[in-house]
A and B are shown apart, each in its own frame.
Chain A
Amino acid sequence: MRIACPFCGPRENGEFSYLGDAKPKRPAPDAGQDAFYDYVYLRDNVAGEMEELWYHGGGCRSWLKVRRNTVTHEIFSVEPVAGAGAQKVAS
């Protein structure tokens, strides 16, 4: 599998580290224990398209959001998620 880094170009997946689902958002501090339990521990086990966070640690050290089919490994989009790089691509 290759991931097309928006800064470096297509790279082998060995240059990237996988974090996981890009969807979970930290609940508000007063959201309650169930919301935090869900945020910390519960994950969907998607067979199909999902958005994931990957880190290009073996290259430009950018965090990327990758929309990928977990069954076929087809990749639909790759975009930076944080920092100066993301602002650059968005503008």
Chain B
Amino acid sequence: MKMRLLALAFLLCGTLAFSQDYFPENAGVKSKNNNYMAFTNAKIYVSPSQVINKGTLLIKDGKVVAVGSSVTLPANTVTEDVTGMTIYPSFIDAFTDFGIAKPKRAEGGGRSAQYEASREGFYWNDHIMPENNAVEKFTYDTKSAKKYREAGFGVVNAHIQDGIARGTGVLVALNDMGTAGDRIIEDESGQFFSFDKSITSRQSYPTSLMGSTALMRQVYHDLKWYESGSVDTKDRSLKALAKNKGLPQFFAAGGNGNISRADKIGDQFGINYIILGAGDEYERIESVKKTGAKLIVPVNFPKAYDVSDPFAASYVNIAEMRHWNLAPSNPKILADNSIEFALTTHELSSTSDFGAMLRKAIERGLQKEQALAALTTIPANVLDKSNEIGTLESGKYANFLITSGDVFEKETTIYENWVQGQKHQLADKNIKDIRGEYTLNAGGNSYKMSLTGKLESPSIEIKKDTVKLPSKLSYKNNWINFSFSTDEGSKSYIMTGLVTKGSDALSGKLIMPNGNETTFLASKVDQFSSEKNKNESSEQVAKLMNLTYPNLGYGYKSKPTPKTMLFKNATVWTGFEILENTDVLVKNGKIAKVGKDLNGGGATVIDATGKHLTSGIIDEHSHIAGLSINEAGHNSSAEVRMTDVLDPKDINIYRNLAGGVTTFQLLHGSANPIGGQSAIIKLKWGEDVDGLVFPDMPKFIKFALGENVKQSNWSSYSRFPQTRMGVEQVMVNYFQRAKEYDALKKSGKPYRVDEELETLAEILNGERFISCHSYVQSEINMLMKVAEKFNFRINTFTHILEGYKVADKMKEHGVGGSTFSDWWAYKYEVKDAIPYNAAIMASQGVTVAINSDDREMSRRLNQEAGKTMKYGGVDEIEAWKMVTLNPAKLLHIDNKVGSIEEGKDADLVLWTDYPLSVYAKAEKTIIDGAVYFDKDLDEAQRAAIQKERAELTQMMLDEKAGGAKTQKPVQRKKRHFECNTL
């Protein structure tokens, strides 16, 4: 090893010596310093895994020449003996906006949205800006560089943190002495993406996360088309995107499942993004691990909430409190799961907090070697610069830290941060360590004095016997000045002295309270020990709360699993008849048997005497469990997918389970004539996104008609259509285009993949079904005629409040109706909405479902079905079907769910009472044979929430009492979405 290093050193020596510059010099005569610099007797971390205990680091011209335990130094070497000190490669932050001015928010905000792009010659969407190059907007920021260096960083990567496609980054060494020519290590360091629109443009599309996702996909399709030379015009965005393809691709995804969302885009187009997380990866570590992506992770661990006011504290959710408790463990959990990650200062309010945050992560079990890798070799690797930065191997930049010891310890001082061989001093490394225990003799009395804390700025404590005296200390340029006072501050003793290398004792001049001058002497009786100090002050090891599925108050400790169950003696609503005193056996997630006196073998027997067992409720129209609902940026958004924005953490999933709901269709909103692709979900509380999706989910899309798509009820006058006449034209035009598109595609000729038209072509080909938001009879009739013209059928009219006026036509067309039980009068188009609608449509043979479109009503859909008995006299079997078998039919899942039949999915609800009654409560809700809601379990959860809240509150109070900074109580609450939520 030694020999090899040496050999390499000489080799490099040679090359370095011959490097020639080509700049003229007019400020004097050329006088280049070609000397070597060596640091000897240091503990050197060449890389996170390679440590030399007593070694030499030899540098020249900004690069490492050699490193090893025995390095031969050329004659022209300036040597510094740094015995006792440690040298680390300096840190690298791959995700910053260092030196980049904050983009300016677009002015304006008129009454109408801007639909067109603001630019010409670029991509049609302003938020796609791959042509941006951070280096063009970059100005070296000395002040900010200093802060980064103080935190241990030597190189940072910056990009313009704005827009969905953000262009390239710039990799900068924080070398104050150099020029841009020295500092800029790479001017196209990677290509950056995110889900967030640019603030510099008001172009409306995309307005949602699913829109951003769809846009990213379309950009890649369009890139392919552009690269094939099929586009006549110049598109500088796509041109840049193509050019940057070979660079590392970064995706600033963020939290809440976005890592998986970004990864999914990459999977489709064969790109391995390096993904920025948000610090909540621990919550869904399995999903994160599954992506296989390299991550960049912030250490923005939240401050404790100030819970001293119980009224205010009651606003804070357990989920937030728990995140405070668990977030510092995030890096350790990532490491434990072998996920490769770099750490970043991103999201920290101040770079100077970085060290403290890092120490928290290490206290939670992140290995120091892992921490060092996350700050050196891994960021170097993701930036594709492992050959230049990240370790102290010869030939790499001489970017290193000289510290008093372990860089991850609180007491450690970073003396110097060398960047490209240039010294940036943070503290004087020749300063003598005066920390320790002393006996101080002053004015004829003896005191106990202890100096602790940071080496370069120790803190002082002086005691007379056991009484602590007020005291102060400053230590600068080898002089110490300190004072203490006695007699309640009335008598001050002021001392000053020069610290000398030769002696451990401190001595010098003393000014007595009466003004007399004399001398003092402090003799060292004990060495400073950070270990000892740590034991005294270090907090108790925090109790870590349990992660739940999903991770909030009502999450489960483990995911529910299918069980073999036998319901005895229930009143069973099969969907076709009501069977008294009947047993139902559940096995392997399916309904195994329905009959009398069944024997379940080893099944858990549930006495259902006096109770009603039904199949689970199915809601045809729901907007819960979505992170966004409308992509309102275009009048057609067929390309967006609700499956891209599933939110398994929505508490309304749990609340719906408590109301007997087992399946629903998460529909796009009604902002556009052509909405987005639906998700059909099983309410498997605790599963992540993939676990929620209905197996072999039939393909649906939301369409909409009427006031919402015309934008009648708010001030928007610029978007087509503004009338029902225009709505027809939109529909016809899109279907015609889809038809032409499909014909081209099938012809085998080259074509541009258009996700929007792909989706619409699926409708024409009978592979995707429409559920259309509709109110008045004219528009209902219109859409049926448009569909007939294109030779397909509308599957479902949802809301369909005037369906009763055209029920005969609906029957003839073959479309189902999914309606509210009794809503009306909230807008002009529901003036003629009547609660008899369901009954009338059903009487004409239309398949009718009762839906919710409302997170509250959905948990009482059994009652809403009950209302059809009141309004129009629907019989109980038919009424019950309207929230079970009928919506299952409309969703094309009635072969699996919607009734109690042997072989169907065991999606069941046990009710305390007649299920259509307002008095009925769900006692158990079962999906695929696993219990997802249980009244007794719910009671236990309540108790657990109270206990956990009390524990976390106490921890936060302790944290505040310990002097830590806190934040004001805040209640994070999801916005509630409805059809027209934009």
- Answer yes or no: do A and B interact: no
User: Which residues of A are in contact with B by a Cβ distance under 8 Å?
Assistant: none
